[in-house]
Amino acid sequence: MRLALPAIVACAALTGCAAGQPGTHANESGGSSVSNSAAQPGPSGARPGPSAGQPGSSPVEDLPVPAPPTGAPGGPSRPGDLGTKPSAPMTLTGTVRAGVEPNCMLLDSYLLIGGPRDQLRDGARVTVTGRVQADLVTTCQQGTPFIVESAKSA
């Protein structure tokens, strides 16, 4: 009952707002309002289309449709393509630090993905070899993803 009362009040308020607008009416069952402004011709004989803020209009209808992706570097070239490939092999040396999310380890501005976690721990000085994969989605919220192929103490 505690949850039903606010829902009933909200529905009543919305129905009351729609009933007070010119060109709208509530259906017999007390359901949604319907605008008949598009069905009646205007002064010039043309039928006006729905405008923003009127029932039946949708701001989504007015938005431009984005162009499909092309074969541009770094972007998908066809459906199912994952985009960029990993970079050429790189070697990084530095001190590993913990990221803001659990189990996220960073070396400089790179997010270390994979590799031996016993060596890639907070505060360890290491040399890692791997590849950057900038389009990899992670939950770590920081760093450019770096796929670790090997790691050793520095």
pLDDT in single tens digits along all 154 residues of the chain: 566 666 676 666 666 555 555 554 444 444 444 444 444 554 555 555 555 555 555 555 666 666 655 544 444 444 444 556 668 899 999 999 999 999 999 999 999 999 999 999 999 999 999 999 999 999 999 999 999 999 999 8
What pLDDT is recorded for position 40?
A: 52
CA angle 142/97/94 to nearest 5° reads 105
What pLDDT is recorded for position 87?
A: 80
What pLDDT is recorded for position 102?
A: 93
What pLDDT is recorded for position 37?
A: 45
d(CA 33, CA 23): 10
Q: Which amino acid is at 54?
A: Q
Cα dihedral 56→58→62→63 (10° resolution): -160
What pLDDT is recorded for position 8?
A: 73
What pLDDT is recorded for position 123?
A: 97
List % helix, strand, coil for the chain (3-state, nearest 5): 15, 25, 60
What pLDDT is recorded for position 143?
A: 95
Cβ-in-10-Å burial (0-12, 13-18, 19+) of 151 comes to: buried
What pLDDT is recorded for position 80?
A: 45
Chain centre distance of CA 135: 15
Does the model's pTM come out above 0.85?
no
Chain centre distance of CA 60: 17
Cα dihedral 105→106→107→112 (10° resolution): 60
